[in-house]
Structure 1
Amino acid sequence: MRFQLTGEQKALRAAVRDVVGRSSAAGALGLVAQFPAPLKGAPRLDRGLWLALGELGVFSLRLGEADGGAGLGLPEAVLVFEELGWALVPGPLVATHLAAGVVPGAAAGEVVVAAVDDGFVEWLDAADVVIGDASGAVALRSVDPLTPLHRVPAPARTEPVAVLLTAAEQLGTAARVCGLAVQHARTREQFGQPIGGFQAVKHLCAQSLVRVEVARAAVYAAAVTGDAVDIAAARLLADEAAVRGARDCLQVHGGMGFTWESEVHLHLKRAWVRARRGGGGTESEEVLAADLVACAG
C-alpha cells in the first residue's frame, strides 16, 4: 500500500518537529545535555514544553472545531506522535491526548494527565489528573531515566487508539535510530575506510530500514482503517522495529553508544518502556490470535 501525505499533513509534521526541536527539554540532544542530572532524582516534566505542545494542538488534534480542536483524525495523530517519538519527547503524551475534551485543561496542555496502564503508571508524580485507580502505587526504578514508573495493583486494558499512538511513537524511534546508524556508518572510519563499507554493518543498516518501512506501512494503514486487528499488527511490527533497530544502532556505534553523550542508548531504553505499555506484545498477539480463530471458524 502506498501512502502520499497531503500538503497539510506535511506542514503539520514539520511544525511539530520544529517545536520539539527548538525546545531545550525535547529532542535527543536536549535530553542528553541534562545527564547525569536526572539520575540524582525523579525527572521533572517541562511544563513550558507541555503548554507549547498544547498550543500547537497536539492534544486537541482530534477534537471537533466546535470544541476548540482541529477536527483531524487518526492519520494526523499518528504523524504527530511519530515525530514525538523521533524526538524522544518525555511525558504522558498519549494519556493527555486521550483525555482532551474529557479532562478540563488537557487539550491546551495546561493539565498533565497520566493513566493506569496494565498495572503501570508513567509520570504519576507529575500528573495533575490520573485516569484509573492508582491507589497503592509503588515507585519503580525505570530502565529509562526520563520515564518514571509506578506499579499499581489493578491493571487496566488499553484502548486501541492508545495502542496505535504508542505504535506511532515506536515508529518514530525506529526511524530515528535507523538514521543514526546510517550516519555513523558513513562517518566512522576503521582500517582506513568508513565502517559502512563492511558487509556486517551494511546488513544491520539495511535490515533496520526494512523494519522501519514495513512498520510504517502497517501503522499508517491502521490509522486509516481504525480496525483493532490492524492496530494490533501495527503495534507488534512497530515494537520490533524500535527495539531491534535501537539494539542494532547501538551495535553500529560500539562502546560509544552506551555513553551519556550519545542518544542511542536512550532510544533503546525508551523503546523498552513503550514495548511494555498497554500489555505489550502479549495483548496485541491475543487480538490477532482471536481474529485468526474467528476466521478459521
Structure 2
Amino acid sequence: MDFQPTEEQRDLRAGVRDLLEGRYGREALRRSVDGAGGGAPVVDRALWRELGEAGFFALRLPESAGGVGLGLAEAVLVFEEAGRVLLPGPLVATHLAAGVVPGAAEGTAVVTACDLGGGLVAYLGEADAVLAAPGPPAGSPVRSADPLTPLHRISSSADVSSYRSEGALLTAALQVGSALRTVELAVRYAGEREQFGQPIGAFQAVKHLCAQMLVRAEVARTAVYAAAVTADGGEIAAAKLLADEAAVLGARDCLQVHGGMGFTWEADVHLHLKRAWVRAEQWRTAGEAEELLAAALLLSASSSSPS
C-alpha cells in the first residue's frame, strides 16, 4: 500500500499552506494572542468564511451535496497545515458538522463539540452551535492553558461518540503540523544563535535534540497518513498517541533549544506547547487511545492464533 501523497494531494496541501500563511502568518498569530488577552474574540469570522469558500470544511462532503468529494487522506493534509500555523477555533468540530449543521460547510457557522473531559468545551462563547446538541448549553468560563483556546465548563454534554474516531485523527493531524513547525523553529534558531563563536547547532547535544524532534514528528506523520488511508480504529488510536507525543515533547525540546529565550512571551514556542497540551485531551486521551489500541492488538492476536 502506497502512503505517499499523490501530485493532486501535494497541490492541495500547497494551496492550503499558501492560503494560511498569507492570512494567518506570525503577525496575525501574535495579534490573536494580544487580542485574546484583552477579551477579543479568538475566531476570525472572515477567515472562517474564507476557509469555507476554499472547501476546508466541506472537503469530505460529496459533490452532490455541495462538497469537494475528497476523503480522510486529503483532510489530514489540510489539517496538518492548520496545525503548523496554530490556527485557532473549533476546526475539527466544524469540519465534522459539515452537512449536519447549517452554515458549517460554508464557514458561516462556527461549530464546537463536547470533545474534552471534565465537562469542558472549547470556544463555546464564540460558537453558533454544538455538534450533536440541540442548542449551545450554558457554561461558565474557566482559565485555559492556551490563550487561544478559551474554555467553558458545562453541566450537560452532547454525545459525540460517533464522531470520536474521525475527530481524533484530524486532531492528530493538527498535532503533527505543530510538531513539524517546532522542528523548523528549533533548527532555525540553532543555526542563528551563537555560543563560543559558533552556532549552537554545531554542538552534539543540540543536534541530538533536533534529530529526536524530527524522528518523532515524521513517525507520527506516517502513522496519521496510514490511519487516514485504512480508517482502522486501532491505527487511529496509535496515530493520536504518536502525534500527541510528537507535539508535546517536540515543543518541550524546542524550548530547550531556545534556552531562556524560549520561555519569554515574545517567542512562539510556548504557544505550540500550550496548544499541544489542550489537543492531547481532545477527542481521545492517551489513556483512552491505549485501551483501544490494546483491545485491537488482543483481537488481532486471538484471531491469528491457531485454534
TM-score normalised by the chain length of structure 1: 0.94
- Pairs aligned (count): 295
Determine if contact 2:98/2:105 at 8 Å carries over to the other structure.
yes
Letter in 1 for 2:225: Y
1:276 matched to 2:276: no
2:305 corresponding residue in structure 1: none
Partner SS, residue 88 of structure 1: coil
Q: 2-side partners of 1:36 and 1:112: how far apart?
A: 22
Which digits, 9 at most, give the CA deviation of each residue in 1:233-278, with x for residues without a partner?
Answer: 0000000000000000011111111223211111111101100112
Partner SS, residue 121 of structure 1: strand
Letter in 1 for 2:46: G
Deviation at 1:42, TM superposition (A): 5.4
Letter in 1 for 2:173: A
1:9 corresponding residue in structure 2: 9
2:213 corresponding residue in structure 1: 208
Partner SS, residue 114 of structure 2: strand
Which 5+ residue runs of structure 1 have no aligned equivalent?
none
Moved more, 57-66 or 275-284: 275-284
Q: 1:176 aligns with which of 175, 181, 190?
A: 181
Q: 1:38 aligns with which of 16, 36, 39?
A: 36
Q: 2-side partners of 1:49 and 1:262: how far apart?
A: 24
Determine if contact 2:165/2:236 at 8 Å carries over to the other structure.
yes
Moved more, 39-48 or 150-159: 150-159
Q: Quote the sequence identity (%).
A: 62
Letter in 2 for 1:170: Q
Which digits, 9 at most, give the CA deviation of each residue in 1:182-204, with x for residues without a partner?
Answer: 11111110110000011111110
Q: 1-side partners of 2:244 and 2:76: how far apart?
A: 15
TM-score normalised by the chain length of structure 2: 0.91
Moved more, 145-154 or 27-36: 27-36
Q: 1:287 aligns with which of 275, 286, 292?
A: 292
Partner SS, residue 181 of structure 1: helix
Runs of 4+ in 1 over 6 A off after TM superposition: none
Q: 1-side partners of 2:61 and 2:33: how far apart?
A: 37
Q: 2-side partners of 1:103 and 1:34: how far apart?
A: 26
Partner SS, residue 11 of structure 2: helix
2:154 corresponding residue in structure 1: 152
Q: 2-side partners of 1:135 and 1:38: how far apart?
A: 22
1:239 matched to 2:241: no
Which 5+ residue runs of structure 2 have no aligned equivalent?
303-307
1:96 matched to 2:94: yes
Determine if contact 1:43/1:148 at 8 Å carries over to the other structure.
no
1:226 matched to 2:224: no
The verdict on how the C-alpha distance between 1:259 and 1:2 changes in structure 2, with shifts beyond 3 A counting, is: farther
Superposed CA RMSD in Å reads 1.7
Q: 2-side partners of 1:50 and 1:34: how far apart?
A: 14
Q: 2-side partners of 1:129 and 1:281: how far apart?
A: 27
Moved more, 98-107 or 275-284: 275-284
